[in-house]
Every structure is written in C-alpha cells, then in structure tokens.
Amino acid sequence: MATERTLILFKPDAVQRRLCGRLLTRIEERGLKIVGLKMLQVTKELSREHYAEHVNKGFYPLLEEFITAAPVVALAIEGPEAVRVMRDMVGKTNGRDAAPGTMRGDFGLSRQMNLVHGSDSPEAAKRELAIYFKANELFDYEPTLKDWVCAGDER
C-alpha cells in the first residue's frame, strides 16, 4: 500500500466562512497525518502555475478572481493512498452534485466556491506540493498513533 502525500487547500470561501477548523478536523479524525500547514495569499502568478491545465478555459478568469480574493490554508497531507482518499473526502467539483458526507457535499452549493482543493493524482500532488511548500516546510515525524490507525501490512 503506497504512502502518499497530497496537496489540500482550504480555499478563500472556507477561510471566509470560518470552516477551516471543521474541515481540518475531518482530515485528522480520518487518521491522516499533517506534514505541512500554512496560510498564504495566492497571487495571479501562483494561480496560473497551480491551475495551468485550466488557464485557457472560459471559466479561468473567474477562478483566478476567486482563488486570489482572500488567503488560503495550504496543507500537505500524508497517508495510505492519501491522494484518492482525500479526493473522495472532498467530493465532486460541484457542491450540488457532491455526495452528503463529503466536504463539498456537506458545506457547499457552488461549482466555483467549492471550499477545498485536492490533488487529483500522485503526479499532480508532487507538482502541486512543490509549488506550495519548500522542502523545509514539510515534516517527517513518527505518528505515535500509527499502530492503531492501520495494520502493519497496510502501511
């Protein structure tokens, strides 16, 4: 089972709506490990780098306006199959389509203001983590609860 790291952002709407604590609690309660965490202001340049695949799409100007409108909280999250596990917890892009129980499905109704970003593949996660975190902002430490979160052959 692959231990992975993934980039999660609590987007400006999550910060403004004061949902960061509740969203982070879900991640911690699942048993995932925080290995990086900071607040930052996304600039237009950073937005274009992060959302390179969307820069030429019609909705990009609105996405850029949204993601730069207030600070975000960036998280590096580690765990078994963390990329897929987090995508499943985040839910479908449009909050109106996202299943109840997911972050977007429980707290959102919007396609654009959907509260949370999660990397969509291990390759994307590596690229995105390098955009948001310097090497010395990511931490390796022994989680003392690990023996009680997953069996030995699952880690």
Q: Which residues are catalytic?
A: 117
Site string for Mg ion, 104-123 (x = CB under 5 A): ----------------x---
Find the binder of ligand IDP among 13, 107, 114, 132 (CB under 6 A).
114
Q: How many residues bind Mg ion (CB under 5 A)?
A: 1
- What is the DSSP-derived secondary structure letter of residue 42? P
Q: Using the minimum distance from each CB to Mg ion, give the nearer residue, 15 or 125.
A: 125
Cα gap 122→8, rounded to integer Å: 13
Beta bridge partners of 34: 77
In a 13 Å sphere around the CA of 86, the CA atoms on its Cβ side amount to 32
Distance of CA 91 to the CA centre of its chain: 11
The CA distances from residue 30 to 27, 72, 150, in Å, are 5, 22, 11
Question: Does 59 participate in binding ligand IDP (rule CB under 6 A)?
Answer: yes
Q: Using the minimum distance from each CB to Mg ion, give the nearer residue, 63 or 69.
A: 63
Question: Does 63 participate in binding ligand IDP (rule CB under 6 A)?
Answer: yes
Closest CA relative to residue 141, chosen from 37, 34, 45: 34
Residue 6 binding: pick among ligand IDP, Mg ion, none (C-beta 5-8 Å cut-off by kind): none
Q: Using the minimum distance from each CB to Mg ion, give the nearer residue, 120 or 137.
A: 120
Footprint of ligand IDP on this chain (CB under 6 A)? 54, 59, 62-63, 93, 111-112, 114, 117, 120
